[in-house]
Amino acid sequence: MFGHENIRSNHQKTIEITKESHLTPSGDCIIGVNASASCADLPDSFKKKLQNSNSKVVFSIKVGSHEFVVEGKGHEDLILTHHEDIVIRKSNFVCPRTLAIKCNKASDLMPREMIALLQNPNTRGTFTISVD
């Protein structure tokens, strides 16, 4: 994923990355654009692990020397079919963009140093997902 000048990262309930290249200031949960994958792109075996309510999902977001870790849960109702986005949520809400629910953090808790880096379109970050 890459940065964008409109990244704000101040949403209190979600974090989103998108394969889209554009971002308006109202996209306040988006932390990265031009991502290499969306929910639909994940391997079926990985989706099956996510579609289990007992699954623990860990996200590692790295930008420069900074790392932000978020923990969440899988759920049997996850659809995982959206072709552009991945959204992780603090709530139980599920839609085609939802990859995990009951997450312990949202975009508003990302360190401001990371956000400052991500406001540069040349900044590259990584968004890694693991499921147990």
Give the start-to-end residue ranges of the domains of the chain: 14-131
Residue 51 has a pLDDT of: 98
> Which residue ranges of the chain lie beneath pLDDT 70?
none
* Letter string b/e over residues 36-56, b meaning 16 or more CB atoms within 10 A of that residue's CB: eebbbebeeeebeebeeeebe
CATH class of residue range 14-131: mainly beta
Residue 14 has a pLDDT of: 98
pLDDT digit string, tens, across residues 54-84:
999 999 999 999 999 999 999 999 999 999 9
Residue 34 has a pLDDT of: 98
- Looking only at the bridges linking them, the beta strands covering 98-100 and 85-89 are parallel
Whole-structure pTM over 0.75, yes or no?
A: yes
Residue 99 has a pLDDT of: 98
Residue 72 has a pLDDT of: 99
